[in-house]
Structure 1
Amino acid sequence: MTFDPESLGRTRSDLAAALRDERRRAGLTQTTLARRCNMSQTKISNIESGKIAPTIVDVELILETLGAQGSVATDILALARSAHTEWQDGWASQRRGLDKKQNELARLEAVTTEFRFFLPTMITGLLATPDYVRASLSRSSGDIAKVIAKKIERQRVLMDSSKSFTFLLTEQAVRWPLVPPLAMALQLDRLASLSRIPHLRLGVIPLGLPGPVDETPLSVFTVYDRRLVQVETHTGALILRDHKDVAAYREDFERYEAHAVWGDDCRELLGEWAGRFTRQRQ
């Protein structure tokens, strides 16, 4: 589901029309514009017909070539960003069936080779035990058993050695007691075990260590290669495809990554916390 045009900009077709109109105002043919931009005429045609969404760099180059300035250039660049942004409504996903969302994620995971997960609030389904997955869906409707099964099935992607995974969690996310103490201990043991997979890195940002001082981690986000970023909110997910947005989130990830503990140090922390949960049950 794309953003409402009234609130967050117009669609790809509006961007196509705006670029087409600006080219005509400049008195250039598609062939001439393509040559001056070092693009193919086919690409310019596909952009102006809305078949493809140009990158921000493409749009900047086209606008510079056309001599567009001021509010016209600003408005068209805003359209370009909107064309690369999508809102996935959580309530709409509930109505369609959360199992369909799992299918979409599985398809995305199949074509991705490098994953970065920033998890400040809770443990993601790819790392979760069945008990944890079930608890995370306690407020969801529909066929929850089917959704749980699909979430567990998606975990097989972690065994694909052609892919690389980096999971970065805060201490709060790891220790949030979503399930009873013994189940939490088992969940933390699973994290420690998964961290030993050669192509999977798992780090934790402890509360006792200083973190980045320039901003606070607020949102869960996942970076898929350099293709897109999914930013999760309480009511849905924001999908960003523009390369500048993707690069910005990759930079954020690297900044937080530097404040995490990894490897044996991470597993030692997880073991300590798992032991505390075990003792709570006694």
Structure 2
Amino acid sequence: MSIAADGNRPASPELGAVLQRFRRAAGLSQERLAARCAMSQSKVSRIERGKELPSVGDVERMVKALEVPDELAVRLVTVARRANVAHVSGRALAELGLWRAQTEIKHIIELCGVQRSFLPVMIGGLFQTPEYARAALTPTLPTSPVRDVEKAVAARLDQQTVLEYPTRQFHVLLTEQAVRWKRIGRPGMVRQCEHLVALAERPNIHVGVVPLTAGVPAAPLNSFHVYDERLVMVELFSGRVDYREHKDVQYHLDLFEFFRGYALTGDRARAFLLSARDEFM
């Protein structure tokens, strides 16, 4: 995934070029179109030049202001909706170099003020010890793409330097299964639990754990990360899906808050993690 110049969305030159043609056909300047759509002239320019992918709402306002025929307007909105969802396969990431994906995610985190991570199955990369990270990044199936594990581990550990930025907030929500899943040997799991406790004591890192006894009336189907209110990355066996449309982002924010309502937080979360550590001992 390539990031736009403003760090917001990937470029979409084709959609931007079509919208530019309609603006010119309507005899409107970028300034006049921007005023009609309640957006800045610079944003209209970035969209038309393919430097920013417009949201579905942006395109809906633009086609209305440009009086685009209904059938074509629907098609353009559909293009925008599809462009705001992207599937990145695990095989493609491996071929590109998994370490590159770790570096790219670091850049995304550096551009956001608040990250929310829902981790129902395993500890997330930002919060892993080197031993846990190595296990998580090592292929487990014979059919898995070959990857440079040590280079990926180094990139993941470098990614963790963003946790040192006091102006950035990290909200981490784990399930009990994620904490107790024995991904590595017992001594390594002891160190991983202790690492989580140490992170939870930092003022900019907020850890919650949803216990199995919480009685949650919903299933935690997959891991996801929300960056501010502009991007969601959903992790799958086959790779990941990126969402940028506002409604999709808001849906995942609501999901995060729903599950957090059943979580142990603060001292109770730390006590739970220490209890898990003791059991691994």
TM-score over 0.5 for the pair: yes
Report whether the alignment pairs 1:177 with 2:182.
yes
Q: Which residue of 1 aligns with 2:261?
A: 258
Once the two structures are superposed, residues 146-184 of structure 1 have per-residue CA deviations (whole angstroms, 9 ceiling, x without a partner) of: 222222222222122111111001111111111112221
Contact 1:30 1:45 (C-alpha < 8 Å) held by counterparts: no
Alpha-carbon distance in 2 for matches of 1:151, 1:40? 37
Contact 2:103 2:156 (C-alpha < 8 Å) held by counterparts: no
Q: Which residue of 1 aligns with 2:101?
A: 101
Report whether the alignment pairs 1:153 with 2:152.
no
Contact 1:219 1:233 (C-alpha < 8 Å) held by counterparts: yes
Contact 1:15 1:83 (C-alpha < 8 Å) held by counterparts: no
1:222 Cα deviation after fit: 0.7
Alpha-carbon distance in 1 for matches of 2:201, 2:97? 34
Match of 1:240 among 237, 243, 249: 243
Letter of the structure 2 residue corresponding to residue 29 of structure 1: L
Contact 1:30 1:41 (C-alpha < 8 Å) held by counterparts: no
Letter of the structure 1 residue corresponding to residue 188 of structure 2: A
Once the two structures are superposed, residues 64-85 of structure 1 have per-residue CA deviations (whole angstroms, 9 ceiling, x without a partner) of: 3344575433322111122323
Once the two structures are superposed, residues 42-100 of structure 1 have per-residue CA deviations (whole angstroms, 9 ceiling, x without a partner) of: 64454344343222222221233344575433322111122323332211221122121
Q: Which residue of 1 aligns with 2:81?
A: 81
Contact 2:123 2:178 (C-alpha < 8 Å) held by counterparts: yes
Q: Which residue of 1 aligns with 2:196?
A: 191
Task: Identify unmatched segments of 5+ residues in structure 2.
Answer: 3-10, 140-144
Task: Identify unmatched segments of 5+ residues in structure 1.
Answer: 3-10
Counterparts in 2 of 1:151 and 1:64: CA distance versus 1, 3 Å: same
Alpha-carbon distance in 2 for matches of 1:273, 1:128? 16
1:208 Cα deviation after fit: 0.6
Once the two structures are superposed, residues 78-127 of structure 1 have per-residue CA deviations (whole angstroms, 9 ceiling, x without a partner) of: 11122323332211221122121121122222222211001011001221
Alpha-carbon distance in 2 for matches of 1:159, 1:46? 33
Identity %: 37
Alpha-carbon distance in 2 for matches of 1:205, 1:109? 25
Alpha-carbon distance in 2 for matches of 1:201, 1:171? 16
Q: Helix, strand or coil: the match of 1:86?
A: strand
Letter of the structure 1 residue corresponding to residue 63 of structure 2: L
Alpha-carbon distance in 2 for matches of 1:251, 1:80? 23
Contact 2:119 2:178 (C-alpha < 8 Å) held by counterparts: yes
Question: How many residues align structurally?
Answer: 267
Q: Which residue of 2 aligns with 1:231?
A: 234
Letter of the structure 1 residue corresponding to residue 202 of structure 2: I
Please list, as runs of the form range in 1=range in 2, the aligned pairs for 1:23-172 lying within 5 A after superposition.
27-30=26-29, 33-39=33-39, 43-68=43-68, 71-139=71-139, 141-172=146-177
Letter of the structure 1 residue corresponding to residue 119 of structure 2: L
1:132 Cα deviation after fit: 1.0
1:207 Cα deviation after fit: 0.8
**What's the Cα RMSD here?**
2.5
Letter of the structure 2 residue corresponding to residue 230 of structure 1: M
Q: Helix, strand or coil: the match of 1:208?
A: helix
Counterparts in 2 of 1:128 and 1:68: CA distance versus 1, 3 Å: same
Alpha-carbon distance in 1 for matches of 2:177, 2:112? 28
Once the two structures are superposed, residues 24-49 of structure 1 have per-residue CA deviations (whole angstroms, 9 ceiling, x without a partner) of: 77x45345544433445564454344
Q: Which residue of 1 aligns with 2:5?
A: none
